[in-house]
């Protein structure tokens, strides 16, 4: 199959090449964050966190709307994300507090999966996914 044939196949499966554009954006931001933390800050641990943080948030959260609306939604979620990171970091001081914290997270994630969109607990920040019943 030639390159043109593969491109036609891809366009048939992804008409607007939305998945390709999204993947390219996630890859660009991942590389930027990783190299900025690794070589700019000189911190290899922060580089790994930047890498996996961007991949997780880029792969799991779909925010609908125009670019301006998406940026506004993500900026509004930023303080909540920072608070959650802080709350997740504090128990890591001791192994037993970290284990109890993870037990609480596992409990919440399990019951969020049971309740799903009925409780407003849908994947990502999308209201559309909560209304449509997707998980």
Tens-of-pLDDT digits for all 135 residues of the chain? 566 677 788 778 877 787 788 888 888 989 999 999 999 999 988 898 888 888 877 766 677 788 888 888 878 888 887 887 788 788 888 888 888 888 887 787 777 666 666 655 555 555 554 444 444
Are the beta carbons of 58 and 25 closer than 8 angstroms? yes
Nearest to 29 by CA among 50, 48, 43, 60: 50
Whose tokens are 């044939």? That residue is 5
């Amino acid at each position: 199959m030639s390159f043109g044939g593969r491109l036609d196949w891809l366009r048939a499966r992804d008409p607007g090449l939305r998945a390709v554009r999204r993947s390219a954006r996630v890859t660009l931001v991942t590389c930027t964050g990783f190299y900025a933390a690794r070589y700019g800050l000189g911190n290899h641990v922060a580089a790994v966190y930047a890498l996996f943080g961007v991949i997780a948030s880029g792969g799991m959260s779909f925010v609908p709307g125009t670019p301006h609306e998406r940026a506004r939604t993500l900026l509004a979620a930023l303080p909540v994300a920072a608070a959650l990171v802080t709350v997740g970091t504090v128990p890591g001081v001791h192994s037993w507090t970290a284990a109890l914290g993870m037990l609480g997270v596992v409990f919440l994630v399990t019951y969020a999966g049971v309740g799903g969109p009925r409780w407003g607990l849908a994947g990502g920040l999308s209201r559309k996914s909560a209304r449509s019943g997707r998980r």
